[in-house]
Amino acid sequence: MRSFSVSLVVLMMVLVACATEQPDEVADVAEPPETSEAPAPDPERAGPSQGEAMDAGIDEAPDFEREQMDGSFFRLSDHDGTVRVLNFWATWCMPCRVEVPEFVEMQERYRDDGLLFVGISLDDEGFAAVEPFAEEFSMNYPQVVDDGEITDLYGGVYGLPTTFVVDRQGDIRARFNGRVHQEDLEPFLQELLAESV
């Protein structure tokens, strides 16, 4: 009887230790996986935005220049007078994969009003990872790859996605840590687009 009780207790401990719950929502901030493959996004499991726009801790957006996928160079200051959304992301980041289609839609809708999204990839594989992703998601805005220099200029990026919103004057107006939903971002962008230079 004693061995049966001990066996039952051990069995229960094993079952409890092995039980895993599947989360109801995808985390809003992604950690890098062991491989570069990422599952397809599921908008129903994407999770909420990480609260309100936060103070970025930097007044003026630091300028940078980086090569784009087509070999041309992107310089942030070349786009002064536009509202710029700088999105630090990676192909393996599930919340990034969910918000990209919303960014594509807003870029298309507000391009002529002076809006420019800029994707800043932190993929270790560089454009080898970014290019197929950009094609799959029909990304209609500039993509650059960061080696850490841009993240340092912006005070560090400690989770993905991280998004900065820069107004027409070149001032950082918001920083979003984690996924930002279109219904939260779009009205804010509309206000900034309505401001004069």
Residue 177 lies in a domain: yes
Average pLDDT over residues 13-22: 30
pLDDT value, residue 55: 57
For the cut 70, the answer to whether the pLDDT of residue 33 exceeds it is no
22-36, 102-116, 170-184: which range is least confident on average?
22-36
**Burial 112-134, CB ≥16 within 10 A → b, else e:** eebbbbbbbbbbeeebebbeebb
14-18, 162-166, 187-191: which range is least confident on average?
14-18
Taking only the tens place, the pLDDT of each residue in 50-73 is 434 555 567 899 999 999 999 999
Average pLDDT over residues 172-189: 96
CATH of residue 56: 3.40.30.10
- What residue numbers bound the domain in which 145 lies? 51-194
Residue 157 lies in a domain: yes
Average pLDDT over residues 1-15: 42
Residue 105 lies in a domain: yes
Q: Given pLDDT bands bounded at 50, 70 and 90, which one contains residue 23?
A: very low
Check if the beta carbon of residue 114 is closer than 8 Å to that of residue 81.
Answer: yes
Residue 26 lies in a domain: no
- Most confident range (mean pLDDT) of 25-39, 42-56, 105-119 is 105-119
d(CA 152, CA 90): 17
Residue 126 lies in a domain: yes
Residue 121 lies in a domain: yes
Q: Given pLDDT bands bounded at 50, 70 and 90, which one contains residue 1?
A: low
Residue type, 17: A
Terminal C-alpha separation, the chain: 83
Of residues 98 and 19, more confidently modeled: 98
pLDDT value, residue 29: 53
Residue 184 lies in a domain: yes
d(CA 33, CA 55): 29
Burial of 101 (0-12, 13-18, 19+ CB in 10 A): middle
Q: For 191, which DSSP code?
A: H
Residue 128 lies in a domain: yes
Average pLDDT over residues 109-132: 98
For the cut 50, the answer to whether the pLDDT of residue 7 exceeds it is no
**Number of domains within the chain:** 1
pLDDT value, residue 192: 97
Residue type, 88: F
